[in-house]
Structure 1
């Protein structure tokens, strides 16, 4: 199965993706990690553009074809990125679930943005203004929504697990 987690930075995607992958034994694909590896290689600079996503789609499909479940985690700001994850699952012949992770409380969301630290060396983290001004297309097809505002990590993971059945 492919589980796609998308949403703005600092909503809790990475935390939930890591916990979900650990709980289920799935592969965790994080586009931030891929993009920073491309930058370290000298082949790209930030912003990387579509390259990190394209690598992610290929890795997801490869893992899915091997019979592994994948938790793919990225902002997924555009419909085309969401479609590409879905297409990887379809080509691999596996089911997929799309989950938008949100933090509906702007005060809490901003606090998270201001308090977080870099966990990938040299990865530039966007500030609050960059996050609220970034292009982020509305979702136009069915997806699950996990709102992390006012919830503990365990409560948010519980909501995600309920969505996944």
Structure 2
């Protein structure tokens, strides 16, 4: 199956997605890692556009066709990217579970964004202002919402695991 995460920066996507991938022994795929690799490869440093997402879709599809579960970690803020993840799953003949992480406590969310350090060499993290200004399309598909202001990482993973069996 394909488990596609979504949510604004600082909601805990990477932390929860990694923990879930470990729990399921799934393939973990992070768009930020791919994008940073493109930039480090000598790209101009300009906007790399959809390259990270396009690479992630291709790598996910390869692994889904091998019979692996894939946990995809990205902001996934636009309908077009969400639709593309659904297409990857459909073309691979697997189920998709879409998970949106939110942080309903604005103070905690801001502290997370402003207090974290980059875990990918050279990666520039977003500012709180850029998080507030980011385009984030409303959802049009069924998905599981987990509020990380109200649950621990372990509780979030348990909620998701229970949602996978539905």
Q: TM-score interval w.r.t. the shorter chain?
A: over 0.9
Structure 1, unaligned runs of 5 or more:
none
**TM-score normalised by structure 1 residue count:** 0.96
Measured against aligned partners, the alpha-carbon deviations of 1:28-61 in whole angstroms (never above 9, x if no partner) come to 0000000000000013525421000000000000
Equivalent residues, number: 165
Partner residue, 2:145: 145
Partner residue, 2:20: 20
Alignment of 1:90-109 (within 5 A): 90-109=90-109
Q: 1:85 deviation in Å? A: 0.7
- Would the alpha carbon gap of residues 44 and 63 (structure 1) be closer, same or farther in structure 2, given more than 3 Å must change? farther
State the SS of the aligned residue for 1:77. Answer: coil
Given that 1:144 and 1:163 are in contact with CA atoms closer than 8 Å, whether structure 2 keeps it comes out as yes
State the SS of the aligned residue for 2:137. Answer: coil
RMSD of equivalent CA atoms: 1.1
State the SS of the aligned residue for 1:161. Answer: helix
**TM-score normalised by structure 2 residue count:** 0.96
Give, in whole Å, the separation in 2 of the partners of 1:55 and 1:99. 20
Q: 1:87 deviation in Å? A: 0.3
Structure 2, unaligned runs of 5 or more:
none
Measured against aligned partners, the alpha-carbon deviations of 1:67-117 in whole angstroms (never above 9, x if no partner) come to 111000100011000011110110000111101011111111001111111
- Would the alpha carbon gap of residues 145 and 46 (structure 1) be closer, same or farther in structure 2, given more than 3 Å must change? farther
